[in-house]
Chains A and B, each alone.
Chain A
């Protein structure tokens, strides 16, 4: 549905989007994830025909965003980052105006407005001036506007930013529901949000695509780094050698940060295994056999969060 090929965008000498490529299939919910200033909004603005790319090509539903921009705009609903609205208009007036721009006639507008106001829980607010609404309500008006022409593609730029936790959950659920009828691309800098809603994640930083795939695929990539933490009482050298001898361990290290009154004569080991094998059981058996004390044995599965943080940190260096 959305195809992006080697897209770049320069602002003067600053390169905001650096040769990125990705695609979104019909019916997918894709999360566009990256820290602030990663180039998410720049990419989205190219896709929504707001500004052109410096080089590269992007198509939405087979239409080129630059040369066939009207066709693209007709099939796309877009919620910009700051949800810009006309404060002096009433919600209904605004949606009427937007409906006219999309070429809906009077009866189409009436049914479209009742559909989107119900969908976005705007029922009792339709006659309020937009300027009097709270941030969360404005966000809903923006979303209602994006849904108005029943677009094939929905592009939402940071749809949950500035909302309270309840509203974030509501918006997230709404996005999930909308995924049944629309292809959705939404950006966020919050990983957990993307992880819960999306069928595919595109991770971008400094204008480049760093990784993409389903949350499960990305998790698999990072789970290789999972490690076991063991706190054992006994001679540290011997313990280290004994654990190292277990089949499936890759490295065994003493945690140098484990000091202080709580530590006493306990040693904390960080053990990494090969692949995804869980070696907690053999480790426990070895320690028991040798008669050492064991007070903690846990497996730390690397989360996408860690992966995200790691990648961002790498980018900065």
Chain B
């Protein structure tokens, strides 16, 4: 675990050197700003960030894989994985370090949207409890998406393939499963609903903290990090 922090710091530093991170941050803020002024910030609307929060799954699906795509695939492409994995550091440390690096960047990105909460609060009575629950949901949602992105980044040396694969998987489990659940009935409907990321996320935006949902996000994030470690280790089985 000693080696987690140097990897994390390096990863975080690399974000601020790369134009992609700035582009993602800019477009993310621009998009949310437009959405916020056009819908939430209108006279007569409820003083809540629910609308903004409901937009998050689709925004995250599009943006977070772009942040994670280079994490490991770039190491494969440039060959730096060889210097990294011949240094005295284990695969788990590398994966956790990289995950925390991108998570910190994501938290900074998310924190900038707190501005909207203060703006809304200035004109109305914002429910801070519900806002806190929304942010917890967004954090858990983002962490899961990042772990999926990291997993696909570990699978290929091509950043584009990594980004597109994670987007596809996330779209399926966020929106398609949700849509299919509405069509299905009985046990199938129940299963699909349990598999739907959006279903688990929606509780948080309404201020509902359900243990089930928290466990869902934490365990599936853990699962993808575990799989990433295994993919990285698989180099040693071949």
Interface residues of A (CB under 8 A from B): 45, 48-52, 70, 73-74, 76, 78, 80, 82, 84-89, 93, 97-98, 100-103, 142, 145
Contact = CB atoms under 8 A, between A and B. Distances in A.
A201 B147 CA distance: 48
Given A52-B236, A80-B79, A101 B3 contact: yes
B81 to A, nearest CB: 8
27 contacts: A45-B82, A50-B85, A50-B86, A50-B235, A51-B236, A51-B238, A52-B237, A52-B238, A74-B88, A76-B86, A80-B79, A80-B82, A84-B81, A86-B14, A88-B14, A89-B10, A89-B13, A97-B6, A97-B9, A98-B83, A101-B6, A101-B7, A101-B89, A102-B87, A102-B88, A103-B2, A142-B83
B18 interface: yes
Contacts of A86: 10, 14, 78, 80
Interface in B190-238: 235-238
Going nearest first, the 7 A-B pairs with the smallest beta carbon separation are A84-B79, A100-B6, A88-B17, A84-B80, A73-B88, A101-B87, A48-B86
A48 B84 CA distance: 11
Contact of A84 (B7, B83, B237): B83
Interface string B68-85: 000000000011111111
Nearest to A155: B86
Contacts of A93: 13
A73 B82 contact: no
B234 to A, nearest CB: 11
Interface centre among A45, A50, A78, A145 (most CB of B within 10 A): A50
Interface residues of B, number: 28
B5 to A, nearest CB: 8
Contacts of B9: 97
B145 to A, nearest CB: 24
Contacts of A101: 3, 6-7, 84, 87-89
A89 to B, nearest CB: 7
Contacts of A73: 86-88
B86 A49 contact: yes
Nearest to B7: A101
Q: Which of B5, B13, B88, B237 has the most CB of A within 10 A?
A: B88
A45 B6 CA distance: 24
A89 B83 CA distance: 15
B78 to A, nearest CB: 5
Nearest to B74: A86
A98 B14 contact: no
B20 to A, nearest CB: 12
Given A84-B83, A142-B83, 17 more contacts: A45-B82, A48-B86, A49-B85, A50-B82, A50-B86, A76-B86, A78-B83, A80-B79, A80-B86, A86-B10, A86-B14, A88-B13, A88-B17, A88-B18, A101-B7, A101-B88, A103-B2
Given A73-B86, A78-B86, A98-B87, A51 B235 contact: yes
A84 B82 contact: yes
Contacts of B85: 49-50
Given A51-B235, A70-B88, A73-B88, A100 B83 contact: no
B76 to A, nearest CB: 10
A253 B6 CA distance: 70
B78 A84 contact: yes
Contacts of B87: 73, 98, 101-102
A98 B86 CA distance: 11
A7 B7 CA distance: 33
A84 B2 CA distance: 24
Contacts of B80: 84-86
A177 B86 CA distance: 24
B80 to A, nearest CB: 4
Contacts of A49: 85-86
Interface string B1-32: 01101110110011001100000000000000
Contacts of A98: 83, 87
Nearest to B93: A101
A49 B236 CA distance: 9
Contact of B79 (A82, A102, A103): A82
A1 to B, nearest CB: 17
Nearest to B80: A84
A100 B87 CA distance: 10
Contacts of A78: 83, 86
Contacts of A87: 78
A160 B4 CA distance: 33
A85 B14 CA distance: 13
Contacts of B236: 51-52
Contacts of B238: 51-52
A82 B14 CA distance: 21
A156 to B, nearest CB: 13
Nearest to A86: B80
A316 B80 CA distance: 34
A145 B85 CA distance: 14
A103 B79 CA distance: 23
Contacts of B235: 50-51
